[in-house]
Amino acid sequence: MAFLENQLVDIRRFCGYPVYGVGAAGFQGWRFFQAYGLLEYRMQNLAPQEETVVLNYLTQLYVLEAAVVGASDRLDTEQAAVWTRNPQEVRERTRLFDDWRRRLAAFMGVPPGPALGDGNIELVV
């Protein structure tokens, strides 16, 4: 079983790697990122059982991503009747989503891409 093109795009995206484009043209792409090349290789050469695990990750990540976006529906309410919103909800959902993205990257055997980072706090002076 091979991944569909949209699944390949989502695996790259969830692992934090930039768009691939229409191919290896220009100065962007796997040729310029060793880890990106490894990710591309792994996506094309997984065992069927490994593909099943990646598909399970994708299923969870789609739900978590939608939950982050859905949390924006409640940002305008501080308190309604007995319900009080969690002011940390978006941050907590994003953290959980990013954790699962890092788990997918780890399973694929690549470091989190530039868009995801390593999860550590960086101070730039």
Cα 58 from chain centroid?
A: 9
Maximum CA pair distance of the chain?
Answer: 57
- Region 96-125 average pLDDT: 80
pLDDT value at 115 more than 80:
yes
Structure-model confidence comparison of residues 52 and 71, the more confident one: 52
Domain containing 43 equals 5-108
pLDDT given for residue 55 in this prediction:
96
With respect to residue 123, please indicate whether it lies within any of the assigned structural domains. no
- Region 30-52 average pLDDT: 84
Domain tally, the chain: 1
With respect to residue 50, please indicate whether it lies within any of the assigned structural domains. yes
Q: Are residues 82 and 56 in contact, defined by beta-carbon separation less than 8 angstroms? A: no
- Region 7-25 average pLDDT: 82
pLDDT given for residue 88 in this prediction:
79
User: What is the number of other CB atoms lying within 10 angstroms of the CB of residue 47?
Assistant: 8
Per-residue pLDDT reduced to its tens digit, 62-102: 999 998 888 766 655 666 666 666 677 888 888 889 999 99
Q: Are residues 7 and 105 in contact, defined by beta-carbon separation less than 8 angstroms? A: no
Spatial distance between the Cα atoms of 71 and 89, rounded to a whole number of angstroms? 7
